Amino acid sequence: MEGVEHRIVKVNGINMHVAEKGQGPVILFVHGFPELWYSWRHQISALSSKGYRAVAPDLRGYGGTDAPDSVTCYTCFHIVGDLVELLNTIAPDQQVFVVGHDWGAIIAWYLCLFRPDKVKAVFTLSVPFTPRNPQMKPTDRWRAIYGNDYYICRFQEPGEIEAEFAEMGTETVMKALLTYRVPDPLMLPKGKPFGHSANTPITLPSWLSEEEVNYYVTKFNKSGFTGVINYYRNFDRNWELMAPWGGCEVKVAAKFVVGDVDLVYHMPGMKEYIHNGGFKKDVPMLEEVVVMEGVGHFIHMEKPDEINNLIYDFFHQFD
């Protein structure tokens, strides 16, 4: 990508790879699973051309950033700590704009909850803020609703899904994940994740090229999947750690966008929470919710022009 600068920044005891472009107010782009800084390629190009400094790190465990061995090194505090130290380095004494998708949205909400002093406004995609349920651990809830083949449940046992992914091959895994655009829950039955064999050809959508997929494949072949799946292995640990913040509101100006074919939008109770007042109660400065018709989970890649305009229009009012 032309004009994108890459560097390594030491944060929170690890080396973090950061891509950036442009001058002006900082927009921190926080990617999700199974992605990289590269997932924001369309946004980096567009927003840097409109007078912003686009900063997109590989989160810990991903791409060119270190991947600590211990599962317990991937809690919400570790990830947010990495980003806070990154901001202290690249934008000291400044408030920044934050954009997050998928896991990046979860982390962005945590960042707003822990350090609202760092965030001028937050724009999240796919995953709204969701309050802690004190009655039940997340994995117990998902197992009760979906059963043991649900992807988050299958991710819990260290090494198990990695072995199956290795058997399938990184290219098949990446294509299966990035092209998943049905509203049903993602199920990974043992021995046949995604329902694909390694030899099943996967047709790419118009918004994703073989060349783009190959970038992900190259990086994940090098890093493996353990670090990135460790995020899911900390859902219950995060639930325990977050007890002190139970009932707290996110007090940052926010906007939320989701595709109506996104599997997250169709989780039990999600639409009701988003549209019937729960989301606005927990995020009082939520300015707008946008539901894009016929759009799937990887919304920023599928509809880049629309997303770029929504981000710009939202942040521009705070400049």
275 catalytically annotated:
no
Q: What is the pLDDT of residue 255?
A: 98
| Residues 6, 88: Cα–Cα separation, whole Å | 18
| Residues 314, 287: Cα–Cα separation, whole Å | 9
Given 102, 216, 231, 300, which residue is catalytic? Answer: 102
Q: What is the pLDDT of residue 198?
A: 55
297 catalytically annotated:
yes
Q: pTM here?
A: 0.97
Phi, psi (rounded to 5 degrees) for 180: -70, 115
Q: What is the pLDDT of residue 195?
A: 67
List of residues 6+ apart from 92 with CB closer than 8 A: none
140 catalytically annotated:
no
Class assignment of domain 5-318? alpha beta
pLDDT category, 193, cuts 50, 70, 90?
confident
* Tokens, residue 200: 């099943």
Q: Per-residue pLDDT tens for 209-255?
A: 999 999 999 999 999 999 999 999 999 999 999 999 999 999 999 99
Strands 26-30 and 96-101 turn out to be parallel
Given 17, 31, 297, 300, which residue is catalytic? Answer: 297
Q: How many CB atoms lie within 10 A of CB 290?
A: 15
Q: Per-residue pLDDT tens for 63-120?
A: 999 999 999 999 999 999 999 999 999 999 999 999 999 999 999 999 999 999 999 9
Q: Per-residue pLDDT tens for 119-169?
A: 999 999 999 999 999 999 999 999 999 999 999 999 999 999 999 999 999
Strands 5-11 and 26-30 turn out to be unpaired
Given 62, 232, 265, 273, which residue is catalytic? Answer: 232
